Amino acid sequence: MSSSLLEFRNLTKRFGGVTALDGFSMQLNRGEILGLIGPNGSGKTTSFNLLTGIYPTSDGSIHFDGRDVTNLSARKVYEAGIVRTFQRSRLCLPLSIYDNIMIGDTARLNGGLWSNLVRRRQFRTQFDETFEKARSLVATFSGDLADRMFEPVGSLPMIERRRIEICRALISDPRLLLLDEPSAGMTHDETDQLMSDILDVRARGDGLSIIIVEHEMGVIERITDRCVVLSYGRKIAEGTYAEVASDAEVQNAYLGVD
C-alpha cells in the first residue's frame, strides 16, 4: 500500500480573471498532520473547497487513496472518508450537543419518520448505539461535556463549540480531517487546549490524517509533521516548520521586502 493518502496534481481554480490556485501539487501521507499556510488570499481555503466538492476545479486532479475524486459531489467526498470544519462556526445553536454531532453522521441513520414510529424497538436500539458513540467521542475531548449531551450548544463557550464541531466531523469515522482556522475566535490558552485535543485524537492510532489551515504559527509549529506554503495560489515552499520558516521566499510572502 502506498504511503500517500491524498494527492493534488496541478490543481487550478479560476474565478473569472482571478486565479486562486495555480498548478498546485502536493501530497499527504497516511497518519500525517500537514499544515497548509500562507498569507490571506493565497488559496488555502479554496483548496479545501475544491477537495470537498464545493467548487469545481478549472484544471488538474485530486486523488484520494488511489482514486480520482476530482469534482465529486460533497456527498460523495464525505462517503469517501473526507470531512471538514469551517472557520466560521456551522453549529445549530438551539440544538443539543448530541443533535449537532449526529448531523455529521446522517448517512448511517436508518428509516424515516414512519419507520421510526412503527419500528420503535429498532429506533430505540439505533438511538442507544449512536448516543453512546457520540458520548464516547465527546469524552475524549471533555468528560464534562460528555455529561451534558442534551444541552444546547448555544450555551457553550467557543472552545467547547470547536470541540463539538470536530466531534461532528469525526463521528463518521473519516480517514481525512480538514481543519480550517480552528483557533478562530479563541484565546491563546483555549487554542493550546484544543491543539492538545487534536494531538490526542491523532495519538489514538486509528490512522487519521489531518490538514490544518491556520494563521497562528505557534499552532503550526507545535502540531504539524510537515508544512506546505502557498502564495498567490502557488506553492512556494514545503518541508518541516523550521525549514519553511527559514525560507527566504516564505519570509518575503509574509513580511514583504524592505
CATH number at residue 242: 3.40.50.300
Note down pLDDT in tens along the chain; length 258 residues: 578 999 999 999 999 999 999 999 999 999 999 999 999 999 999 999 999 999 999 999 999 999 999 999 999 999 999 999 988 888 999 999 999 998 887 655 555 555 555 566 665 676 778 899 999 999 989 889 999 999 999 999 999 999 999 999 999 999 999 999 998 888 999 999 999 999 988 887 678 999 999 988 999 999 999 999 999 999 999 999 999 999 999 998 887 755
Q: Which three cell numbers stand for residue 249?
A: 521566499
Q: Which domain holds residue 200?
A: 4-255
| Cβ-count burial 171-200 (b if 16+ within 10 Å, e if not) | bbebbbbbbbbbbbbbeeebbebbbebbee
pTM for the model stands at 0.90
Q: HSE on the CB side for 143, CA within 13 Å?
A: 0
Strands 176-180, 209-213: pairing is parallel
Give the start-end residues of each E strand in 158-203: 176-180
186 in Cβ contact with 205 (< 8 Å): no
Rounded to whole angstroms, what are the CA distances from 97 to 23, 28, 167, 168, 204?
A: 41, 31, 10, 9, 23
Cell of 143: 468528560
Phi-psi region of 110 (alpha: psi -120 to 50; beta: other; left: phi over 0): beta
**Rounded to whole angstroms, how far apart are CA atoms 109 and 106?**
5
Q: In total, how many domains does the chain have? A: 1
d(CA 161, CA 168): 10
